[in-house]
Structure 1
Amino acid sequence: MGVVSRIVSVVKPVHEAALTFLPEAFASLRAQELPDGWEWEWLVQVDGGNAADVPAGVSEDSRVKVSDNRRGGPGVARTLAWDRSRGELVKVLDSDDILPAGALARDIAIMEAHPTVGWTVCRADDLMPDGSLQHNTLGDPEPGLLALGELYAYWATTHRPGVHPATLCIRESLLAEAGGWMALPASEDTALLLALDVMADGWFIGETGLHYRKHAAQTTAHPDHRAGDEWDALIGAIRKRVNALAVRHPPA
């Protein structure tokens, strides 16, 4: 009887305009070296497009599972992709981002070494249009344990998460308890991060684990992502959800 591998499921929502970035993301995933006994799967979810449009060099790999859905936004696409996952860990990877060497191995190492840690985040570098890398200055904490509610306390006064939510790796059981991603027009990853933060301790990894592509078509570049009725409603919905979860998960 063969050894059963442990799986980290990489969830990737993609819209039609970002399909051209998939081969570069796929190359970064194939280059990951995982600890013995681990393997990855890649759940690509085409939001508002056709799975057949995913480049053949990506979709032909047996570890890649491609599907599509009617337009629902990134939160909906992530949740639908997660439904198809088999892993005990779920790693997020946005449609236009790439993983530097060692990213998955570091996530796995922390989760194995610290059974009470429910999720990890890490340093991220912005991948600029000219190909250069710049450190993303969200206010990274010191590497190590992130205590229950630490990030939410910071966000409640700044509306900034303090770490990059696009670097999340989560125990699948905790993600299920959190209910997946909120159906928001943007910041659904921040909403999940803050929910996780009041449910379980996290861990900040000081090494760079994401190259976050910066370009004009990003949802976070839209003016409604900074102010206005939509922004106020988004902030309010996140606050309601996280406050309700915090009551259910008080500090020990």
Structure 2
Amino acid sequence: MSRRVTVVTAVHGPSARFLPDAYASLCAQRLPGGWDWQWLIQEDGGTDDVRPYVPEDERVVFRQGRPGGPGVARTIALARAEGAYVKVLDADDQLTPGALARDLTVLEADRTVGWTTSRVLDLLPDGSTAGFPGDPDAGPVERGVVLGHWKRNDFRAPVHPATLCVRRDLLTALGGWMALPASEDTGLLLALNAVSRGWFSAEVGLLYRKWEGQATGQASHLDPAERAARMAVAEARARALAEFGWTYPADR
């Protein structure tokens, strides 16, 4: 009997044209023996713009729903998740070869690690890539490290939430992604690290596409009042979880 990792992708009309590249990167993954993947593509809305780009593959499930942002789309997709682990893959990004196998190797080897992340390269419009300094050392990310770094560095996390692979039971216990208009993945990362150890792989696991339509490049994403509110609620959630003393895995 095969074991499965669920890949979750939120998509809207403008980003749909990148789905074939994301699919190609997923098909290029070589998983450990006995493992396969399931790809859940959830449109944030109900347009006719996305379906033409969805590949015909029995491992791919496409659904639509009321628009509510990428966090809502990913969270509602969890209703169909079959895997023990959930991997994030945004519609405009690409996995690098070996990314899923490295995630699975870490999570299968150590039950005290609740989630994994990896190094990221920006994928520029001309097809070139660019890295940036500041990655942590490869290995465990202890509880509370992410919030502390994030606060000291103008709300910049030490690891990239777009690379998350997380245990499904832990993800659902935290309620999935935050119901925010943006930074919902950072909010999840902070919550995860408040209750569990993580892992950082120094090998590049994701190509993060830079293009004119991406949400993080829009003026609304940088609105000072909204940004302050997003950061405040994400921090409050993480601190509350830490103060409650709930940990993963739970002490027996």
SS at 1:233 equivalent: helix
State which of 24, 28, 31 in structure 2 corresponds to 1:27: 24
State which of 88, 97, 110 in structure 2 corresponds to 1:101: 97
Equivalent residue number for residue 15 of structure 1: 12
Q: Is the 8 A contact 2:15 2:213 kept in 1?
A: no
Q: Is the 8 A contact 1:117 1:200 kept in 2?
A: yes
State which of 142, 148, 151 in structure 2 corresponds to 1:153: 148
Looking at structure 2, the residues matched to 209 and 244 of structure 1 have their Cα atoms a distance apart, in angstroms, of 31
Looking at structure 2, the residues matched to 124 and 23 of structure 1 have their Cα atoms a distance apart, in angstroms, of 20
Looking at structure 2, the residues matched to 132 and 52 of structure 1 have their Cα atoms a distance apart, in angstroms, of 28
Equivalent residue number for residue 45 of structure 2: 48
Looking at structure 2, the residues matched to 122 and 53 of structure 1 have their Cα atoms a distance apart, in angstroms, of 28
SS at 1:198 equivalent: helix
Equivalent residue number for residue 214 of structure 1: 210
Structure 1 residue 133 and structure 2 residue 92: aligned? no
State which of 185, 191, 194 in structure 2 corresponds to 1:189: 185
How far the C-alpha of 1:18 sits from its partner, in A, is: 0.8
Per the normalisation by structure 1, the TM-score is 0.94
Looking at structure 2, the residues matched to 98 and 212 of structure 1 have their Cα atoms a distance apart, in angstroms, of 7
Unaligned segments of structure 2, at least 5 residues: none
Equivalent residue number for residue 224 of structure 1: 220
How far the C-alpha of 1:135 sits from its partner, in A, is: 1.1
Q: Is the 8 A contact 1:51 1:67 kept in 2?
A: no
Equivalent residue number for residue 87 of structure 1: 83
SS at 2:119 equivalent: strand
Count of residues in correspondence between the two structures: 247
SS at 1:11 equivalent: strand
The more displaced of 163-172 and 47-56 is: 47-56
Looking at structure 2, the residues matched to 122 and 65 of structure 1 have their Cα atoms a distance apart, in angstroms, of 26
Percent identical pairs in the alignment equals 50
Equivalent residue number for residue 114 of structure 1: 110
Looking at structure 1, the residues matched to 236 and 121 of structure 2 have their Cα atoms a distance apart, in angstroms, of 31
Equivalent residue number for residue 137 of structure 2: 142
Looking at structure 1, the residues matched to 38 and 19 of structure 2 have their Cα atoms a distance apart, in angstroms, of 15
How far the C-alpha of 1:179 sits from its partner, in A, is: 0.8
One-letter code of the match for 1:38? Answer: W
How far the C-alpha of 1:226 sits from its partner, in A, is: 3.0
Looking at structure 1, the residues matched to 220 and 43 of structure 2 have their Cα atoms a distance apart, in angstroms, of 24
Calculate the aligned-residue CA RMSD, in Å. Answer: 1.6
SS at 1:75 equivalent: helix
Unaligned segments of structure 1, at least 5 residues: none
One-letter code of the match for 1:237? Answer: V
Looking at structure 2, the residues matched to 120 and 56 of structure 1 have their Cα atoms a distance apart, in angstroms, of 29
How far the C-alpha of 1:162 sits from its partner, in A, is: 1.2
Structure 1 residue 71 and structure 2 residue 67: aligned? yes
Looking at structure 1, the residues matched to 245 and 9 of structure 2 have their Cα atoms a distance apart, in angstroms, of 29
Per the normalisation by structure 2, the TM-score is 0.94
State which of 37, 41, 44 in structure 1 corresponds to 2:34: 37
Structure 1 residue 202 and structure 2 residue 184: aligned? no
1:36-57 Cα shifts (integer Å, max 9, x gaps): 0111000000111347832366
